[in-house]
Amino acid sequence: MLGAIAGIVDVFDALTTKRPYAEPMSPSNALNLLHAQRDKTFHPGLIEQFVRCIGFFPVGSVVELNSGETGIVISQNQLKRLLPRVMVVRDAQGQLLRPQKLLDLAKMPKTGGEPYRVRRTLEYGKAGVTAKEIMMA
């Protein structure tokens, strides 16, 4: 059992980390790949538990919001996994935001009359800003 758990974690880490032969995948794409391999390579129950543990949008995921803004997931919502807390780092035109905007999607903040939601995840590095740049600004 421990080996099967370690295997899932190892594959997820390998998929989301830059390697000499491949660019990192976004966490959601890596989760989709793991999910597709349940029953084939991985125990389905362990995959489900892994997804519950790290969430659909793991901390550090770069996301595009339905407003067109780009953000970085900074924390999970344990009850509503699709509604994380997000630090918006780029506006809809791609301009760097200073200061950044914090959104708790579970509190249903609105954009253009509708609640903010995650439209899609982006590959690592697509925010065009690093955590160091955000914290040092």
pLDDT score of 130: 59
Q: Are residues 47 and 76 in the same domain?
A: no
pLDDT score of 134: 61
Q: Are residues 10 and 50 in the same domain?
A: yes
Q: Are residues 36 and 86 in the same domain?
A: no
Q: Which range of residues forms the domain containing residue 124?
A: 62-136
Q: Are residues 77 and 126 in the same domain?
A: yes
pLDDT score of 127: 66
Please enumerate, as own/partner, the contacts of 14-22 that have beta carbons within 8 Å and a separation of 24 or more: 16/124, 18/124
pLDDT score of 64: 92
Q: Are residues 68 and 124 in the same domain?
A: yes
Whole-number Å distance between alpha carbons of 72 and 59: 8
Q: Are residues 78 and 46 in the same domain?
A: no
Structure tokens at 94: 């791609």
pLDDT score of 66: 95
pTM of the model: 0.75
pLDDT score of 23: 86
Q: Are residues 50 and 67 in the same domain?
A: no
Mean pLDDT, the chain cut into blocks of 10 residues (137 residues total): 94 90 85 89 91 83 91 87 90 88 94 91 70 57
Q: Are residues 84 and 123 in the same domain?
A: yes
pLDDT score of 77: 86
Q: Are residues 97 and 130 in the same domain?
A: yes
The β-bridge partners of 62 are 72, 122
- Per the structure, how many domains does the chain have? 2
Q: Are residues 19 and 76 in the same domain?
A: no
